[in-house]
């Protein structure tokens, strides 16, 4: 996992050289780039970390959507999901196409904020600052394995709790019990591993009901850091080819998704860039 821990080190080195800011470029929330009606945060890893840590310091409550092409395309056919993204505290550019579009829009400081890297970076920060983490999601045993591996890597990490929901909607009573459990744990950060769009809907529904300052939907990061699925090599990630690696690893589950989404995304982006189709960012 060393190649992914390099993301925080790279950001820190760039800040030291003055080539990368660790603060939003305006007061308040970071600016956004309109990608097919989704306001993608114009951020890098350093800005993401400072923004989330600011929420914790001020005891504000927000959720974070880790968004790539798949998430953007899910929003095209679902106005409520698009609004959920646009109400998020951060919509991180999880895929390189979103980074490249940010550059085209004059946001040269933007870099990929990859969910698994953000998890490791915040775990590392937590060892110094005492943030408490709750892990919600994954298949049976995944959250426990994730917890054990992260604690082995970061011995002073404070894990407030884990919960694996059943493969059905929770009853109202079950949901209230889970909310009470998370709140009683004193968690500052709730990591949600339910996959898109289920995790985004869950976070939006629970905003204001949970005391945690940040809910972060990271999907496959649970499986990656639990050692159950491989991550794409760093060079493939930087080249925007992670989708190809994941398709080879899981062709039956992901092949149809990418075959449908990628060409459609390229076509719609071309129309937006040429000014032939306009999108409003609505909340």
- Whole-number Å distance between alpha carbons of 233 and 31: 30
1 has pLDDT over 70: no
Q: Which two tokens stand for residue 70?
A: 């798949």
Confidence band, pLDDT 50/70/90 cuts, at residue 152:
very high
Q: pTM for this structure?
A: 0.90
Give per-residue pLDDT as tens, 105-131: 999 999 999 999 999 999 999 999 999
Residue 253, pLDDT score: 93
Give the mean pLDDT of 238-253: 95
Mean pLDDT of the region 257-274:
97
pLDDT confidence of 23, banded at 50, 70, 90? very low
| Contact yes or no for 162/144 (Cβ under 8 A) | yes
Angle at 81 between CA 138 and CA 51, to 5 degrees: 70
DSSP state of 196: T
pLDDT in tens, 184-199: 999 999 999 999 999 9
Neighbours of 237 (CB within 10 A): 20
Confidence grade of residue 37 (pLDDT, cut at 50, 70, 90): very high
Q: How confident is the model at residue 28 (pLDDT cuts 50, 70, 90)?
A: confident
Query: What was the pLDDT predicted at 4?
Result: 44
Confidence at residue 7, expressed as pLDDT on a 0 to 100 scale: 44
Output the pLDDT for position 235: 96
For position 16, what pLDDT does the model report?
A: 37
Non-local (6+) Cβ contacts of 107 within 8 A are 31, 33, 42
Residue 149 has pLDDT above 70, yes or no: yes
């Amino acid at each position: 996992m060393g190649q992914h821990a390099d993301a925080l080190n790279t950001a820190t080195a760039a800040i030291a050289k003055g080539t990368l800011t660790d603060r939003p470029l305006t007061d308040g929330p970071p600016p956004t780039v309109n990608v097919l009606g989704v306001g993608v945060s114009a951020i890098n890893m350093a800005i993401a970390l400072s923004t989330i840590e600011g929420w914790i310091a001020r005891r504000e409550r927000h959720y974070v959507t880790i968004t790539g092409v798949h998430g953007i395309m899910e929003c095209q056919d679902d106005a409520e999901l698009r609004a959920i993204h646009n109400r998020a505290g951060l919509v991180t550019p999880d895929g390189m196409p979103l980074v490249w579009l940010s550059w085209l829009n004059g946001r040269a400081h933007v870099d990929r904020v990859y969910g698994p890297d953000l998890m490791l970076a915040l775990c590392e920060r937590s060892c110094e600052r005492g943030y408490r983490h709750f892990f919600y999601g994954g298949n049976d045993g995944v959250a426990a394995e994730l917890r054990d591996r992260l604690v082995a890597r970061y011995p002073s990490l404070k894990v407030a709790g884990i919960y694996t929901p059943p493969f059905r909607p929770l009853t109202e009573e079950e949901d209230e019990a889970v909310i009470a459990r998370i709140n009683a744990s004193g968690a500052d950060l709730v990591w949600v591993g339910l996959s898109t769009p289920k995790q985004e809907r869950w976070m939006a529904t629970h905003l204001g009901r949970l005391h945690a300052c940040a809910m972060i939907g990271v999907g496959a990061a649970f499986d990656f850091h639990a050692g159950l699925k491989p991550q794409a090599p760093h060079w493939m990630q930087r080249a925007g080819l992670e989708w190809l690696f994941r398709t080879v690893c899981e062709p039956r589950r992901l092949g149809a998704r990418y075959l449908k989404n990628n060409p459609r995304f390229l076509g719609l982006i071309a129309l937006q860039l040429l000014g032939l189709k306009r999108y409003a960012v609505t909340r």
